[in-house]
Amino acid sequence: MKLPHWARTTSFAVALLALSSTSLVAQQAPAAPTDITVGGITKPSNHSKLNFPQFGQVLEMPVKEGDVVKKGDVLLRQDDRQERALLEGLRLEAESLVRVEAAEADLKIKQIQHKRLEELAKNGNATPTELEEAWVKVVYADAQVKIARLENQKAKQEFERQRIKVEQMTLDSKIEGVATVETIDVQIGEVTDPQKPVMTVVKNDPLWVEFFLPTIQSSKLKVGQQLDVRYLGDAQQWHPAKIIYKAPVADAASDTQKLRLEMGNKSMTDTGLQVLVRLPSDIGPAAQPAASAAAANTAAAATAR
């Protein structure tokens, strides 16, 4: 059925009004804010290259690459059997007071003999020479006591020195919390070189995020300030991180400054990955040096890989 002219005119006016209202609302709706981000890379918060302080043959290796270890876990042990035998002998000597007690007993005998001669000398039954000789023996015996005590202290020091040496022949994790064995550079039976690392252990929780910013932007950030970080490819999940380091010297050539964040990593995500760091909205747009900062971050990422 054909609508009358007035109905068609009214429908057209309503449609036109609706379209105009929609356009007006679209024009008035604020644009979604754009995040200010900069690229960075994740790093272990502890990256330890371990070695032994002396040459020695590897006897035990209870871990392998990729193993998760805790503080105190044994990672590697040199053949310390001879050193432990020597340690036991030094322990017995350090704990023994036989020489000290023998010297003290000899001193008492010399003191008694000297006292007797003093009594005899009063009645004219001992000569001054005999009395002097007895006194010299007391002085000598007293010196022997001091020497015995000194030797006992020296034995204790030798024992402690050997104990530390034996302790250093066992390599254990010194990292607080949980760490991961990244690399092992020796095998059982090999002789370790104190100048070369035998193992690398990393701590990825918490991890670090390092990036560079133009100095005009970095000057607006402070140590202790919280920023957000997300991994590339994960557009939704942002993770809180805290600024723990800001380079005290900026790079004059690129006019950039290095910053480091600390971020929790309970999921134990691997490090060396590229991330985006969301900067505060009031930090301002990147100035001309931003290209240098991007280059620095790209170079840092390439170094991490």
The predicted-structure confidence for 145-159, as pLDDT tens digits, reads as follows 999 999 999 999 999
**Under-50 pLDDT residues of the chain:** 1-3, 5-32, 287-292
pLDDT value for 271:
96
Contact 83, 165 (CB under 8 A): yes
pLDDT value for 236:
79
Contact 181, 66 (CB under 8 A): yes
The pair phi, psi for residue 73, each rounded to 5°, is -65, 135
- CA-CA distance, 287 to 38, in Å (whole number)? 13
Contact 254, 230 (CB under 8 A): no
Which pTM does this prediction carry?
Answer: 0.69
